[in-house]
Structure 1
C-alpha cells in the first residue's frame, strides 16, 4: 500500500524495492513509493509455546514425558529481523509458532536422551538451560530468540519418579534428623557460651547504665525543679487569666441563655395557644358534639327500653293470668273427675262386696244342705292343683340322671320310680286332711248314698256267682 506506513513498537516494517537490502523500521513510520516499493509488517510480539515430548527414553532407558513452556520472539537486531523476514514474511503467526515449537521439541528430545532421570528430576533448571542453549543456535538462524524456557512437568508411566521421590524423601528425612540433632547440640553449646558472655556484658552494661541514670536523675531533678517553679508561675498566671476569661465568657453565655429562654418561652406560649385552638377544633368540640349525640341516643334507648319493659310486663301479666285461669279450670276439672271416679269405684266395691256376700251366703246354704258331700266336692276340685304343685319341681328340672342297680324287687327303677313317688305323694293327701280337719275323706265318700266300695263290689259279685251256681 503506497504512502506513509506507521507501526507500533511491537511491529517492524520491511520495505523492499528501493535498493539491494530491504529497509527495516521498528516502531516508526516510512514512506512507500507507489509502484516502486513494497512494505510488509513483521510482528515482534512474544509467542508462548507448550513444548510437550511424550515417552522419550533417557540415558538409562526410562521413558519420560516432559512438558516445557517457552517464550520466543523475533530478535531485536536489524540483522535478525532481516533474517526472520526472509524466513517468515507471508506466513501466519500460527505457522511461525509451529516452526519454532518443532525446533524446541526436537532439541528437548535430544537432550533427554543424553541425561539420566535423576539429573533431569533433581535439577530441572539445568536441564532447561541446556535445552535453551542447544536450541538457541537454530532459533538464531531463523532470526528468533528464546526469551525464557522452563520445565513445567515431568511424568513417567511406571512409577520410577515416585520411587525415586520416596527414596530421596527417606534420605532427606534421615539427613534432616541428623542435621537437626547436630544443630541442636551446637546451638546448645553456643547458646550457653553466648549466655555467659551476655551475662558478663549485661552486668558491665547495667553498672554503666546505673551510673549514667544516677547522673541523669541528679541533673534532671535540678532541671525539673527549676522548670516546675517556672511552670507553676506560668500556670498560676494562666489559670488566673483563664478564670477571668471564663467568667466573662460565662456572663455572655448567661445573657445568651436568658435571651434564648425568653424566645423559647414566647414560642412555647404561642405553641400552647395553637394547641389550645387545635384541641378545641379537633378534640373538645367534636367530643362535646359526640357527648350530646350519645346522651340523646342514650335517652332514646332508655325510653325505648322503658316502653319495651312495660309492654313485656303487660304481656307477661296477661299470659300469667290466662295460665292461672287455665290451671284453675284444669284443677277443678281434675277434682270433679277424681270425685266422680271415687264415687264410681266406691259403688263398684260396694256392689262387688254385696255380690261376694250373696255368693258366700248361698255357698254356706249349699254346704249346710250337702254337708260333707260339698266338702268332698271342693276337695276333688283342688286335687288337680295339688298334683300340679307336686309336679312343679320336676317341670323346672332340665336333666334327670337315673342310676338303676337292677334290683328285682317290686319297687321299680328309672322313670317309673319317679312317677310312683309323685303318686305316693298324692295318695298321702287323705291322711293329711284327716290330721288337719278330723274329716276322714275315704269314710265320707264310702258313706255317700249310691257309693260302693271295692270290697262291697267284690262281695256282690261273689254272691251273684253263688246264686247262679245254685240255680
Structure 2
C-alpha cells in the first residue's frame, strides 16, 4: 500500500511538473515572433528589457515575464493619393504596397516598439509614409513621364520610403502603381490623337476587310453563276442526246433499209474494184515489168558510166592537187631562200650604207672644219688688209685712191662702154678729141661706170677721186650725132664719116 501511495505521489508530482512546464513553455510559430519582456534582450545590447524568440521554444516565468506575439505575416496597404504634377495638373495615383516586419532582430525590435499593440494600424502608417513621398516625387514629374515610365515613379518612391520603413522595422516586398487618374481629362486628351489614329487604322482595316469580303462574295456569285451555266449547258446537252436517241429510234426502220441498200452498193463497188485491180495486175505483168527492166538496165549503165567519169575526174583532181602542193612547196622554198638572200643583201647594204654614211659624215666634218679655218683665215686676212688700207689712207689718201682706180679701171671702162652697146652709127664732129670727150662724158653721165667708181671710192672712206678722172666735165658745146639701128652690133664705123668735121 505504501508503494502504491509513493507511486501515486510520484505520478502526481510528474503530472504537476509537466503541467508547470507546459504553462511555462512557449513556442514561436514560423510567421510570428515572441516578444518576452522582463528579461535581457538577446544580441541587441543591454537595457532593452525584452527578448525576441523566433522559430523555436523558450521558457517563460509566469508572473515574472510577459509574452506577446508580433505577426511576421505580409501586410497590404492600398494607396490612393491626390497629387499635383510639375505641370500643375492634379492627378490621383492608386497603388498597393506589400510589406512585412523584417526577419532580423533589429527590425523585429523596431516593429515591436512601434506596432506591438497597434498592428492593425500598421497599414495606415505605411500609407501615410508612401503618400508623402509619392506627392513629392509626382511634383517633379510630368503626366507624360508618369504614364510612359511608371518604373521610374515606382523606383523613386520605393527608394525614398526605404529609410523610413527600415526605421519602422518594415521591409517592402512589392510596390505597384496600379492606376493614374486625371480628373481634368488631360490624359484623355493626350490619348485622343493616338485613339483617332487607331480608330482611323481600324476603319481602314474594316474598309479593306469589307472590300475583300465584297470581292470574295462577287467572285463566289460569279462562280455560282458559272456553275449554273455549266449545269444548264450539260442539261441541254443531255436533252439533245435524248432527242437524238429518240429521233434515231424513229428512223431505225428507214435507216435499216438504207443501210441494206448501202451494203449492196458497197459490195458492188468492191467487186468493181477487184476487177480493176485484176486488170491493173495484168498490165503490170505484161507492160510495166518489161518497161521497168529496160529502164533499170539503162539507168544502171548510165550510173556505171557516170561513176567512171567521176573516178577519172577525182584521180585527175588529186593529181592536180598533188602537183599544186609540190609547186607551192617549191615556190615557198624558193621564196624562203630568196627572202634569206634578200635579208642578207639588205644587211650587207645596210652595213655598207652605215660605213659610207660614217665616212661621209667624217669627210663632211673635216671639210666643214677646213672651210671654217679657211673662212677664219680669209676674214683675218681681209681684216688685216682693211686695217692696212685704212692706215695707208690715213697717210696718203690720193695714192690709195689712185691705186684702187688703177686696179679696177678695166671694170669701170667696161661698165662705161655698156652705154654704147646699142649704138649702130656714131658720128664725131671734132675728131679724136671728140672721142676722148665722148668717153669722158660717158664716164661722167653713164651712171654705171660712175657708180662703180664711186663704190670704189667709198671703200677708202669717202676719199676724193683724182682730178681729170671722175670730175672731168665734157664741154656741152661738143656736137655728137648718134644714130641707132637695131641690126647693128654696136661700135663706131670708120668708113661712115669718122673724122669728118
Give me the TM-score of the superposition, normalised by structure 1. 0.35
